Structure 1
Amino acid sequence: MTLISPAARDALQLWLDGQRALAGASENTITAYRGDVAEFLAFMTEHHGAPQGLAALERIGVADMRAWMAHMRGMGLSARSLARKLSAVKSFYRWLAEREGFEPTAVLSTRAPKFRRKLPRPLAEDAAKKVIETVEHQSQEPWVAARDVAVVTLLYGCGLRISEALGLRGADAPLGRSLRITGKGGKERVVPVLDAARSAVDAYLDLCPHPKEPAAPLFRGVRGGALSPRIIQKVMARTRAQLGLPSTATPHALRHSFATHLLSAGGDLRAIQELLGHASLSTTQAYTAVDTARLMETYDRAHPRA
């Protein structure tokens, strides 16, 4: 951050500290925020030919914002990535304006480029069930096969992120009727545990050669350490190849499938939001679009046009 003035650098760090402590942002989010805002501040230094102190940052105008966005697009940045960077810059400016007492209209009024949001790509219900049935055949070691089945059953049956499933500890087992999960940004939620998921974890624990220790990872690698997400991704890759499923059939697709199938069965959108741990309802609403798209596909198959 050599192109950034000391005052701007200190302000950025204070804002990041607040995002970590008060907003509960994850370290990955903090890293992304730091890079996005630092890149913006460095551009403004080069654009104006001098390091931008706080007083200079207050004078950033519409033309400056247009120049930055044009520069980003000129570097080949996608509309989606630019919208993400602009969101980080706006968040920083809101905080800075409130702290320094200026009006950040030029920055906050800048419109993000339009882009088409990618819809989640869930599996069909029968495909999700076949994945769980087929995963156990990817390893000749019985306890490893049981472990992999337990993980994918939790992803699909409880809607967990892979990091959440692999973050479970020995103290969490045997699983009860519900699990308290700490998700992104330290947000806690309680998810119900299906009998199938509970049974799958029990079967794994019965076969696992490594001792169950309260503070140790619940799911172990072959050598006894924490199970790597990459292992489950490879298992899913072999499973989808065996079943002829598309490359979108990833571990995360099982979480998408959990949400979409709940919605199809009449689940309440707000309840699904809570189960998934989404901070915003708009994120969960993406599954409404998926459900509608699947409905139209079914309609088109049933009523082919002449």
Structure 2
Amino acid sequence: MTRAVAPLGQADKSGQERFTEFLRIYASLNTRLAYATDLGIPLNWVPGYRAPDPTRRRGRARRAQSTGLEWLPWCLHNGFTSFADVRVEHVERWLAELAAAGYSDATRARMLSAVSAFYRKYLLREGLAQHNPVALVDRAAQHLNRPDGTPATTVLWSFEACRALLLAAYLLANRHGYGLRDRAMVEVLIGTGVRGDELVGVNLDDYQRPTPGGHGSLRVHGKGAKDRRVALAPPVADAVEAYLAVRRPSTVPARTGQVGARVREPLFVTRSGARVHVSHVQAVLRRLCATFAPAADAPPPRARWRRELLATEQAALIATHLAPLRDSIHPHSARHSYASHTKNRGAEVRQVQRDLGHASLTTTEGYLHDAAHLAQSAAHDLSPALHRGWLTAP
């Protein structure tokens, strides 16, 4: 959608100005882009967004082309001139159209939350709507609610799989130009449970290690403009130090109004010196899996060092644990894995909550895939007793 519209029913400001004001509520550019994507706001309206250079090769695009079913284009297409005119039945019709178009329940729930935030944090505050129609949606009937305590559906990496990813990153660290950087990112991701966008959002001066060889820390910029410090155990800090020894200076441009001010340098940078994008984190994880656990139809490696590496016992062990993750691996699994493995090793849930930056303990509990509880379940005592004497194990 390229035309500037004023769907809010106010003559003093354009639609673009209104949406820009809403997005400025969020300090993180990644958060602004996420809301713009779900609401259908043109990216050139997002404060702080710079369009990619079309002359340079880039990875995956920021988002797929709009389907026209995002909230803003859907409202315009259906003739709404003011968001104050939207009722709950209109929201439910929109959700039905999303479902018919193949949108998953999780995606619809996320998009609905974006619309709700737009009403709660902007339209109601500015007097541009009298109520939030999303609040009246029956989420259970729309299959959008997950009851409290329901285990998360994100794939949990086993303790051995986490070890395999770290070992794989270590073995490849000196095999290509940015191996040390990628290893440091994997170490921080698995060793702290930070989100992917938090990982790439850290700056050079966010890293601290007062004592050589000791613990380090990293200030991460979380959701809702809430910063927190996460601890870096010595092995993780060592990986960061190894990367910093070869890190190239960044080429962060000064923003308007920052002339003469100190520009904060990103910690993890690309070949060109720009901040690493969150999509690169998933690409690194996929490359580790594909290297040590290639698909059956993948051509054999041409490099001699790679063939020799894959012939080792270490590589065979890595492949065993990474093969099941190859087609579904995602950075957010590291966050769930951190929560589960630290709790299973004796950490207090409240400490895990602080580590992950969750405002609610209920959110943290949803991250806990507690295999220990399953292994200790009373069902293991009941079932054998029920079958004793007439059903024997094969």
| TM range, smaller chain | 0.7 to 0.9
Note closer, same or farther for the CA distance 1:133–1:111 as it changes in structure 2 (3 Å cut). Answer: same
Q: Give the Cα separation in 1 of the matches to 2:352 and 2:223.
A: 16
Matched, 1:195 2:243: no
Aligned-residue sequence identity (percent) comes to 26
| Match in the other structure for 1:264 | 344
Q: Which letter does structure 1 place at the counterpart of 2:143?
A: K
Inter-CA distance 182–240: structure 2 relative to 1 (3 Å threshold): farther
Aligned match for 1:79, one of 79, 100, 105:
105
Task: Using the TM superposition, give the Cα deviation of residue 162 of structure 1 relative to its aligned residue in structure 2, in angstroms.
Answer: 3.7
Matches within 5 A, 1:248-259: 248-259=328-339
RMSD: 3.9
The alignment partner of 2:230 has SS state of strand
Per the alignment, do residues 209 and 20 of structure 1 end up closer, same or farther by CA in structure 2, a change over 3 Å counting? closer
Q: Distance in 2 between matches of 1:234 and 1:263?
A: 27
When structure 1 is superposed on structure 2, of 73-82 and 219-228 the one drifting more is 219-228
What count of residue pairs does the alignment treat as equivalent? 295
Distance (whole Å) between structure 2 residues aligned to residue 60 and residue 302 of structure 1: 53
Partner deviation per Cα, 1:96-117 (whole Å, 9 max, x = no partner): 3454376426543122211476
The 5 A counterparts of 1:1-306 are: 6-8=7-9, 13=16, 16-24=19-27, 26-35=31-40, 36-45=70-79, 52-54=80-82, 57-94=83-120, 95-100=122-127, 103-104=130-131, 106-112=133-139, 113-115=142-144, 118-138=152-172, 140-141=174-175, 144-172=178-206, 175-176=209-210, 177-206=216-245, 208=246, 210=248, 216-221=265-270, 229=280, 232-238=284-290, 241=293, 242-244=318-320, 245=322, 246-247=324-325, 248-288=328-368, 290-291=369-370, 295-296=373-374
Checking the alignment, whether the CA contact within 8 Å between 1:124 and 1:257 is kept in structure 2 is yes
| Contact 1:236–1:250 (Cα < 8 Å) also in 2 | no
- Aligned-partner Cα distance in 1 for 2:249–2:16: 43
1:232 maps to a residue whose letter is: V
Using the size of structure 2 for normalisation, the TM-score is: 0.60
- 1:236, 1:251 within 8 Å by CA — same for their partners in 2? no
Q: For the residues of structure 1 that align with 2:133 and 2:197, how far apart are their CA atoms?
A: 39
- Of the structure 1 ranges 35-44 and 226-235, higher mean CA displacement relative to structure 2 is found in 226-235
Deviation at 1:283, TM superposition (A): 3.3
Query: 1:142: Cα distance to partner?
Result: 7.8
> Aligned to 1:189, what secondary structure does the other structure show?
strand
* CA distance in structure 1 between the partners assigned to 2:241 and 2:345 by the alignment: 28
Secondary structure of residue in 2 paired with 1:178: strand
* SS across alignment from 2:353: helix
Distance 2:35 2:355 in 1: 25
Q: Which deviates the most, 14-23 or 179-188?
A: 14-23
Gap runs ≥5 in structure 1: 46-51
- Give the SS at the match of 1:287: coil
Is the 8 Å Cα contact of residues 201 and 221 (structure 2) preserved in structure 1? no
CA distance in 2, matches of 1:108, 1:209: 48
User: Counterpart of 1:114 in structure 2: which amino acid?
Assistant: H
Structure 1 position 191, deviation (Å): 0.9
Q: Aligned in 2, Cα 1:180/1:93: closer, same or farther, shift over 3 Å? A: closer
Given residue 105 of structure 2, which amino acid in structure 1 is its aligned partner? A
More helix by share: 1
Deviation of 1:73 (Å): 2.7
Task: Report the TM-score, using the length of structure 1 for normalisation.
Answer: 0.74
Deviation at 1:286, TM superposition (A): 1.5
